[in-house]
Amino acid sequence: MELSTILICVGFATLAVSYGWGMRGTVIGGEKGAMLPGLYLGLILAWFAGGGIRENLLIPAAAGLMGISFGGTEPYADTIHFALCRNDKEHYNPVRGYTGLAVKGGLWFGVAGGFIALSMSAMGGRYSAPGLVAFCLLLPFIGLAGYRIFNWPYDRKSGKYPAIYFSFESREEWGSNLSIMLTMLGIGIVKNDNLLTSLISAGFAFGFVGWLVAIKLYDLSVYPMKNGKYIFGEKLSKTRIDGWKVMEFSLGAIGAFGISLVFCFSGKEINAINEAIATNGVFNPIAKAEPVMPFVILASVAVIIGINVYEYLVEKKGGSYNSFVMDLIERPFFNVVPMLFVLLGSSYAARLMTVFMLIFVVSVKSIADRFTKDKSIILPAVIFISVTIVTLVLDFVKGGFSAFEIILAGGLPYILAELFHRVYHDTRTTGKSMKELLTDGSFPVVMGFMTVQVAVIYLISAFIF
């Protein structure tokens, strides 16, 4: 790539994922929220790869959306507490906190970079269909093995914790991502897939360093320095600056910067994939089954909806369920099952795992989590379900969304969803007026910053796409 192209690619990816990561912690968290920055990263890299990869950019975009969701299983609130909460003598342990965040950041971005690279290499026919099927079918078991090796035993009531533990209340699951990342790294080495090993390494390195930098910026943004002064001034730091958001914006930016930079210098590997696609077409051994792919993916969506309805009904009746077990059942339908079809070159699966999935996860989390206890849940449910259905219909009518439309879907709709929750739900539960809620604390600064980010992302997209 030319220097100007590299600068645009890296700059655009850094900005887009920074926004996506910040938004992830606002509208929805966990693995579902992480889908937004993952989608943006996969989409942007695929576009700048050019050739056949660009022509089939929905595949890397969908792989990015699902690949980055694996890292969402890693809880980190307690880990940040270790790093920053000086007044908690029992838990303040900066060495443990910083180390844990670095490890989790490295694994999160390492796995994400691996799946994006794997999807591109698969497009070029580097991997066989049986091999990809075996890998995806084994993914849940690979993750579970890593969990049992590194994050077991765990029993808060009896005080049993793993040997390496970066939380004090949350169940650790970083071992799952470690085993998945190492498996992909091994595959890359055996198959001589330099793009795969490079993006895994870049993701791990920059995710590792990224969270170290991000947590230090969190510290500096809200706590006084040794001289007692605040970087942004005491009043601003205490009332308007959200250190958590500073951390999220920074982590997303640094992780994306590293992966996109290494990607830009992987021209030999990218050209080889594009040449293979130009010669043989996109690797798609299930081409004859493409007509049934929408139904397979929608069946997975139905399972996800069923699980959330079950959890809602149990909670409504005052009952309880094992959230860890329910998550283990639900997660494969969000990433493993559709990932298999995306890696096998299914355009239908890739289509549904982009814009539709972005809107779907916002709807599910908003209805099932944010508005569950709201007495007026009917209106939010109608709105979010309607928008999701309209998105699905448009996908089939249009035959998929363009790169620019995908970027649009992750911006303004997410901001509107957050504002709707703030206005509709919080005015009922906090007793504050709409004006108070929209101007309270760090909210206007955070939302204002993300709105500016979205505006710039839209502007860049209009020129690039």
**Lowest-pLDDT choice from 198-202, 418-422, 460-464:** 418-422
pLDDT at position 30 = 84
pLDDT at position 21 = 96
pLDDT at position 343 = 98
pLDDT at position 131 = 97
Residue 181 has pLDDT above 80, yes or no: yes
Confidence of residue 328 (pLDDT cuts 50, 70, 90): confident
pLDDT at position 339 = 97
pLDDT at position 84 = 93
Q: What is the mean pLDDT of residues 367-392?
A: 86
Residue 372 has pLDDT above 80, yes or no: no
pLDDT at position 133 = 97
Confidence of residue 38 (pLDDT cuts 50, 70, 90): very high
- Over pLDDT 70: what percentage of the chain? 99
pLDDT at position 390 = 96
Confidence of residue 425 (pLDDT cuts 50, 70, 90): confident
**Lowest-pLDDT choice from 147-151, 248-252, 284-288, 306-310:** 306-310
Residue 378 has pLDDT above 90, yes or no: no
Q: What is the pLDDT of residues 127-147, one digit of tens each?
A: 999 999 999 999 999 999 999
Q: What is the mean pLDDT of residues 357-382?
A: 84
Burial class (CB in 10 A: 0-12, 13-18, 19+), 158: exposed
Confidence of residue 446 (pLDDT cuts 50, 70, 90): very high
Q: What is the pLDDT of residues 195-216, one digit of tens each?
A: 999 999 999 999 999 999 999 9
Q: What is the mean pLDDT of residues 278-295?
A: 93
pLDDT at position 313 = 84
**Lowest-pLDDT choice from 4-18, 74-88, 337-351, 369-383:** 369-383
Please give the radius of gyration of the chain, using alpha carbons only, rounded to the nearest integer.
Answer: 22
Residue 315 has pLDDT above 90, yes or no: no
* Three-state SS annotation for the chain: CCHHHHHHHHHHHHHHHHHHHHHHCCCCCHHHHCHHHHHHHHHHHHHHHCHHHHHCCHHHHHHHHHHHHHHHHCCCHHHHHHHHCCCCCCCCCHHHHHHHHHHHHHHHHHHHHHHHHHHHHHHCCCCCHHHHHHHHHHHHHHHHHHHHHHCCCCECCCCECCCCCCCCCCCCCHHHHHHHHHHHHHHHHHCCCHHHHHHHHHHHHHHHHHHHHHHHHHHHHHCCCCCCCCCCCHHHHHHCCCHHHHHHHHHHHHHHHHHHHHHHCCHHHHHHHHHHHHHHCCCCCCHHHHHHHHHHHHHHHHHHHHHHHHHHHHHHCCCCCCHHHHHHHHHHHHCHHHHHHHHCCCHHHHHHHHHHHHHHHHHHHHHHHHCCCCCCCHHHHHHHHHHHHHHHHHHHHHCCCCHHHHHHHCCHHHHHHHHHHHHHHHHHHCCCCHHHHHHCCCHHHHHHHHHHHHHHHHHHHHHHC
Confidence of residue 13 (pLDDT cuts 50, 70, 90): very high
pLDDT at position 109 = 98
Which one is predicted more confidently, 308 or 193?
Answer: 193
- Over pLDDT 90: what percentage of the chain? 75
